[in-house]
Amino acid sequence: MQTDEDVYVGDFEFDGNWREFAAIALPNLVLTIATLGIYRFWATTRVRRYLWSRTVFMGDRLEWSGTGRELFRSALVAIVLVLVPLAIANLIVRQLLVHGHTVAGQVLSGVVLIGLYILTGIAVFRSLRYRLSRTNWRGIRGGSHDQGIRFGPAYAWKNFVGMLPLGALMPWAMVSLWNQRWNAMSFGPWTFAARGRASGLKLPFLWCYVAPVVAIGVIALIIWSGMIVTFFGIEPRTPVEWVLIRLPAVFAFFFLYSLIMLAYYASFIRQMIRSTSLGDMNFSFNAGATDWMELYVVDFLLVLFTLGLGSVFISYRHWTFYLRNLQVDGRINFGAVTQSDTPAPGQGEGLLDVLDMGAL
C-alpha cells in the first residue's frame, strides 16, 4: 500500500536456490550447444528473469523485462557495424606492412586501437543503461537520457592517462569513469549520485604498484649475487631443472599478487558503492579480498571438477554474492514513486557481447 510518509528501506533479499536454478541453467546449456551458440541470448534472458524474480526489495520483487530477441538482434547489428569494419581494417594494415608502408600501417593500427577503446566505452555505458531500463520494481524502471556517446572518448583518454606514468593514475581513471557513468543514470524519479574519490585508494594501490618492483629487485639481487635457489635441496643441472625448481616461487608470487590485486579491487568496489546513492538511499558493500578470493577459487574448482558443466552456476553464485554483501540504508517515499521518463533503448547489449565483455 502506498503512503506519503517516508519509510526506512531494507536490504535486498534472495529466496531462490541452486536446484531451481539448475532446472533453468542445464537446459540452457544443452540448447545453446545444440544451436551452436545462438540460443545463448535467450538463455541469458531466462537466467536474468529467474534471478530478478527471486530478488526482493521492500517486499516487492524485481522483474526483468528484456528479451532474447533484443540481445540477438543487437549482436547481429554489432557484428555488421563493428567486427566487419575491424576485420577489413586489419587486412588493410597487414597489406600496408607487407608492402613496406610501415608508418601508414602503424598509424592506421593506432587509429583502430583508439576506435576500439571508444567503442568499448560506449558498450560499457549502454550495457548499464540497458540493464536498468529492463529492470522493473513496483512498476518503475531505470535508464538514462544520455546515449553514452561522450563516455566512449572519455573511456579512451582517461584509461590512457591512467597508464601514465606506469599505471600510477589508474585509480583516478577508474573512479572518474565510475562517477561519470553512474551520474548519468536514474531509476524511476530518482537520480544516481556518484561522488567517489581516488584518495582513499592510494594505499591499496601502492601495494599493487610496489609488489612487482620488489619481486624484480629480489630476482635481480639473486642473479647478481650468484645465489642458487634450490627446492627440497635439489640444485639445477639442466635448464629444464632450473625452470622447474623455480616454478613454485613463480606460482607463489602470482598467488600473492592476485591477493594484493583483489585487496585493491575489493577496496575500490567498497568505496565506490559507498559513495553512490539513489535519492535518499545509500549503499554499502562488505566483501573483502578474502571473500572475492573465495568466490573465484570456488568458481575455478567448480568448473574444473565438473569438466566445465559447473560454469552454468557462476552467474547464480555471483548474483547471490553481490546481494549478500550489498546493504541499503535511507528512506523512500512510496507516494512519490513515479515512472522514469528516460527513453527505453530498443537495442540490447550486442556491442558489449561482441567485444566479449558481457556480464551475467
2 pLDDT more than 50 = no
What pTM, to 2 d.p., does this model score?
0.85
Alpha-carbon gap, residue 90 to 198, rounded angstroms: 37
Residue 202 Cα distances to 24, 149, 169, 199, 290, angstroms:
43, 30, 10, 6, 20
Alpha-carbon gap, residue 201 to 192, rounded angstroms: 22
Average pLDDT over residues 4-19: 84
Residue 18: closest CA among 358, 321, 357, 359: 321
List the Cα angle 314/207/267 in 5-degree steps.
Answer: 45
Residue 246: closest CA among 269, 273, 227, 271: 227
Question: Looking at residue 82, what is its pLDDT?
Answer: 83
Residue 209 pLDDT level (bands cut at 50, 70, 90): confident
Question: Looking at residue 357, what is its pLDDT?
Answer: 42
Domain spans, the chain: 78-189+346-360
Question: Looking at residue 358, what is its pLDDT?
Answer: 44
Grid coordinates representing 220 are 635481480
Alpha-carbon gap, residue 287 to 296, rounded angstroms: 13
Question: Looking at residue 80, what is its pLDDT?
Answer: 84
pLDDT in tens, 86-140: 889 889 998 888 888 889 989 999 998 999 899 889 989 999 999 999 999 998 9
Residue 337: closest CA among 189, 135, 144, 142: 189
pLDDT in tens, 248-285: 667 777 788 888 888 899 999 999 999 999 989 999 99
pLDDT in tens, 70-88: 999 888 888 888 888 888 9
Mean pLDDT for all residues in the chain: 85
